[in-house]
Amino acid sequence: MVESWVGSMSRLLPRAIRESGHEFTFLTRDLHHYLRSAPEGVAHPLLGARNVITADTNDTETLLPEVARLHAVLGFDGVLTSCDYYLPTAARIAGHLGLPGPGPEAVENACRKDATRRVLADASVPGPRFAVHEEWADLARAAREIGYPLVVKPVDLCAGMYVRRVDDEKQLAEAVAALAGFPVNARGQRRTPAVLVEELLDGPEVSVETVSHAGAVHVVGVTDKSIGGAPAFIETGHMFPAALTPADTEAAEQTALAALKALGLVDGVVAHTEIKLTSGGPRVVEVNPRPAGNRITELVRHVTGIDLAAAFVDVALGRAPDLRRADTGLRSAAVGFLVPDRTGTLEALGAARPADDAGVLEVQLAEPGKAVKAAHSNNEYLGHVMAGDPDGPGARDRVESLLAGIRAGLVIR
């Protein structure tokens, strides 16, 4: 495992590896990054690795021969990571060692938003009108040609960081300047200065969860998404399965399959492809060649019994994943996030119903005393609530009811 996110996948992947009867070696350039994220008095799950090795995971050319030497001793069977910034590195290592996995170029193209746009446009997979430039004059001209309102995006960040709606050239200049002030990402990697501007798409956004193995892409289902925090695009919640018509579900799935095929992500990949269901038909937003974050994998498991983290381990080993559905007793599951709209210190939250109440699957909230930042991306949540519905698509309403009670007592000073 080459690095990891420090959120839920840093717990789900080690568990899936262990429950599948395997062990893993963890490669990281900064072990303290993970130690800091573990709850006080609890060992981080990543420390359950058989080996924890410090290496410069940001220098791929140096890393490849180093991992080859480790492989000669430890005998790796697969390579994976949950962290977007290291997906291309993991793919290159797998290719270098002759292990299963998607092609490095396919992963690189999926992880670079500008490359994704070009590959999909060449394959006639529908997406927004877009332009990519580094110089201000070129960006301003492209924005005028596409037409405001627009979406401004970095080409190499994730979690919604610095993605903004802009309605005029002044707002565009402010968004570009803010992005220029963030030249190195949170993992110490220097960013490319290119900026992506896109047509603002109408309609709801969904994601298609898929597993690719041996040239076949299997659709697990479609998840919906709620967005807040304008002009940012912050994910405030999800429900699985999305409450869509059969026609919209089919359209989203087929568009995602076309995107994965165009990129070449048809083997060794668990993917999370985001689609806008616009008035002109489905359009691809992003293709993420890793399991969904924000607890979506757990929504899928609660409803279908399919463990996408375990599937990720299987395909990384070149094995057929277990995608058999089980009767879990739930027809839908939803998660909602507590998103702060101001900066300060958390003093109080409203009461949440007990986690053993009917339908409540998870309640995880920040403790009073926590330093709070007004949310500008998906990185500033104060917690989440997850609930299920055994009868139909009512899980989102249950979650919203729970969150309303918590928000009513929210105090940030």
Residue 73 is predicted with a pLDDT of 97
Across the chain, mean pLDDT equals: 95
The CATH number of the structural domain formed by 331-412 is 3.30.470.20
Q: What whole-number distance in Å separates Cα of residue 384 and Cα of residue 207?
A: 19
pLDDT digits over 136-156, tens only? 999 999 999 999 999 999 999
pLDDT digits over 169-184, tens only? 999 999 999 999 999 9
**Highest CATH level, class, for 8-99:** alpha beta
Percent share of the chain, pLDDT over 90: 92
C-alpha to C-alpha distances, 32 to 3, 6, 245, nearest whole angstrom: 12, 11, 47
pLDDT digits over 11-43, tens only? 999 999 999 999 999 999 999 888 887 766 677
Q: Would you call 212 exposed, middle or buried from its count of C-beta atoms within 10 A (0-12, 13-18, 19+)?
A: buried
Residue 84 has pLDDT above 70, yes or no: yes
Domain with CATH 3.30.470.20 in the chain: 203-328, 331-412
3-state secondary structure of 319: coil
pTM of the model: 0.95
Beta carbons of 262 and 119 less than 8 angstroms apart: yes
Longest Cα–Cα distance of the chain, Å, equals: 58
The pairing of strands 216-228 and 205-213 is: antiparallel
Q: Per-residue confidence at 291, pLDDT binned at 50, 70, 90? A: very high
- With vertex at residue 293, the alpha carbon angle to CA 178 and CA 103, rounded to the nearest 5 degrees, is 90
Residue 359 is predicted with a pLDDT of 87
Kindly compute the dihedral angle of the four CA atoms of residues 83, 243, 365, 350, in this order, to the nearest 10 degrees: 160
Residue 165 has pLDDT above 80, yes or no: yes
Looking at domain 128-199, its CATH architecture is 2-Layer Sandwich (3.30)
CATH tag for 203-328 (out of 3.90.800.10, 1.10.20.60, 3.40.50.1360, 3.30.470.20):
3.30.470.20
- With vertex at residue 294, the alpha carbon angle to CA 366 and CA 91, rounded to the nearest 5 degrees, is 130
Q: 198 is written with which tokens?
A: 């896109």
Residue 193 has pLDDT above 70, yes or no: yes
Helix H or strand E encompassing 27: strand 25-28
Domain with CATH 3.40.50.20 in the chain: 8-99
Q: Would you call 319 exposed, middle or buried from its count of C-beta atoms within 10 A (0-12, 13-18, 19+)?
A: middle
pLDDT digits over 340-383, tens only? 999 999 999 987 665 556 689 999 999 999 999 999 999 999 99
Domain with CATH 3.30.1490.20 in the chain: 128-199
Average pLDDT of span 225-232: 94
Q: Would you call 391 exposed, middle or buried from its count of C-beta atoms within 10 A (0-12, 13-18, 19+)?
A: exposed
Residue 35 is predicted with a pLDDT of 84
